[in-house]
């Protein structure tokens, strides 16, 4: 019953954030145009990549640690909060120092967006405390309200002044507002966030290094893409690609939600094979089912999605959405196995597998992108994600009772996309 309630709450939150996010980016794309939208997405990707340093995988680390030992919540959250403050300060100093080597507008864009992305990492970290302590309703309420406000603020600001710098400022203002409210709720409902001793925070960073590596490998997806596409095809192609990626990432929030619901349970059951097998089966079919439904929706409804959201300027995206849909499903299938590995303490393997995945993607992209453009990059991502999923599955194969059924359903899901490619 608790699992269904949590999934329902997080599902409602996801739908609200999905629609609010899609509406805001749809308005941005239409008001800014293909080229300026591409510039904004390029710098947002750079800021997001830099913010990986401040994220450090601490959200996953906290979910697993609190899930297996709830008594450590207050100390762990304060230590993590302090560690993130140190990492953020170090990153901002480096970005400020780099200002002399950049154009003023580019540096201002980067700094503004980096502040927004860093605020997001703090919000996500604090939300892990709510999830691990089964306070999904609190997070859902905040998420729904501020998703709507974020969309309204972003759309209103760009409608008033359709420039990339105004869009960046509105984005960061919204993220800062969410963080402020989330900190207040954390102090009220879970535990006050305090500055922890430096030694304890540094020890936490050492303990979480594998989580940082794995998170970094996984989070390159959707962000480093902009740098690759811009290098080969230019800013307009970045705008086209990131329009599709906004749809992809909007739906992919469901994977994070499923992971946040299942990970504490799987971590708590890690020592019991029978319980873990039961949780694992629920987890696998939840990921596969959601991934298939949302992925096929992108393939089947490509034309109306592009027409409604972005207009005729982005019509080339119609042919790309089926590839986004296949990639979406493959990412969900791999993510299910990844949660099992994290729950059983195999984050080090995940880091190594992630590095191998990006090596495969780089090799594939070198051959495919010059010839097939954006489609080639998406195919390279599908190849790398398939490799990642197979390596995860091989490593965690003893954690799922119905392994043959899971693999069969996954293969059948891939076949469903063939007619649309």
pLDDT of residue 58: 84
What's the rounded Cα separation, in Å, for the pair 62 and 70? 10
What's the rounded Cα separation, in Å, for the pair 26 and 305? 11
pLDDT of residue 128: 74
* pTM given for the model: 0.77
b (16+ CB within 10 A) / e for 231-264? eebebbbbbbbbbbbbbbbbbbbbbebbbbbbbb
pLDDT of residue 368: 93
Task: Please give the structure tokens belonging to residue 46.
Answer: 């750079």
pLDDT in tens, the chain (421 residues): 555 555 555 556 666 666 677 777 788 888 888 888 888 888 988 998 898 888 888 887 877 777 667 677 778 888 888 999 999 999 999 888 887 777 877 888 889 999 999 998 898 888 776 766 666 566 667 677 777 787 788 888 988 998 999 999 999 998 898 888 888 888 777 777 788 888 888 988 898 888 888 787 777 777 788 888 888 888 888 888 988 988 888 778 777 777 777 776 777 766 666 666 777 778 888 899 999 999 999 999 999 999 888 888 889 999 999 999 999 999 999 988 888 888 777 878 888 888 899 999 999 999 999 899 999 999 999 999 999 999 998 887 777 767 788 888 899 999 999 999 8
- Max alpha carbon distance in the chain (Å)? 59
pLDDT of residue 338: 86
pLDDT of residue 276: 66
Closest CA to 41 of 238, 326, 173, 178: 238
Instruction: Specify the DSSP element, H or E, that contains 210.
Output: helix 209-219
């Amino acid at each position: 019953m608790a699992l269904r309630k949590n999934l329902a709450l997080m599902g409602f939150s996801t739908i609200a954030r999905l629609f609010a996010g899609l509406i805001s980016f749809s308005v941005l794309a239409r008001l800014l145009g293909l080229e300026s939208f591409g510039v904004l997405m390029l710098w947002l990707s750079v800021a997001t990549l830099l913010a990986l340093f401040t994220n450090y995988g601490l959200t996953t680390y906290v979910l697993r640690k609190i899930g297996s030992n709830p008594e450590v919540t207050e100390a762990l959250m304060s230590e993590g909060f302090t560690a993130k403050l140190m990492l953020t300060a170090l990153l901002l100093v480096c970005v400020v120092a780099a200002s002399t080597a950049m154009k003023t507008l580019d540096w201002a864009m980067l700094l503004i967006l980096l502040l927004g992305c860093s605020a997001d990492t703090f919000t996500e970290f604090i939300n892990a405390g709510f999830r691990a302590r089964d306070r999904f309703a609190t997070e859902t309420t905040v998420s729904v309200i501020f998703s709507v406000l974020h969309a309204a603020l972003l759309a209103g600001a760009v409608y008033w002044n359709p420039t990339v710098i105004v869009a960046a400022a509105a984005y960061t203002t919204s993220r800062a507002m969410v963080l402020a409210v989330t900190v207040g709720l954390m102090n009220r409902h879970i535990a006050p966030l305090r500055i922890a001793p430096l030694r304890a925070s540094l020890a936490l960073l050492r303990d979480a290094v594998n989580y940082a590596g794995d998170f970094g490998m996984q989070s390159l997806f959707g962000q480093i893409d902009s740098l690759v596409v811009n290098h080969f095809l230019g800013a307009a192609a970045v705008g086209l690609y990131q329009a599709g990626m906004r749809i992809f990432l909007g739906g992919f929030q469901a994977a994070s939600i499923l992971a946040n619901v299942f990970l504490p349970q799987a971590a708590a059951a890690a020592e019991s094979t029978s319980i873990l097998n039961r949780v694992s089966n629920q987890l696998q079919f939840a990921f596969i089912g959601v991934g298939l439904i949302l992925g096929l929706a992108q393939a089947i409804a490509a034309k109306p999605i592009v027409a409604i959201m972005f207009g005729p300027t982005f019509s080339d995206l119609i042919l790309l959405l089926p590839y986004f849909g296949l990639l979406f499903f493959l990412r969900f299938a791999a993510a299910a196995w990844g949660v099992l590995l994290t729950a059983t303490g195999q984050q080090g393997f995940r880091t190594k597998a992630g590095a191998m995945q990006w090596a495969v993607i780089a090799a594939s992209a070198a051959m495919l992108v010059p010839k097939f453009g954006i489609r080639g990059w998406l195919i390279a991502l599908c190849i790398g994600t398939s490799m990642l999923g197979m390596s995860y599955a091989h490593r965690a194969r003893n954690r799922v009772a119905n392994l043959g059924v899971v693999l069969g359903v996954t293969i059948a899901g891939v076949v469903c996309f063939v007619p649309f490619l």
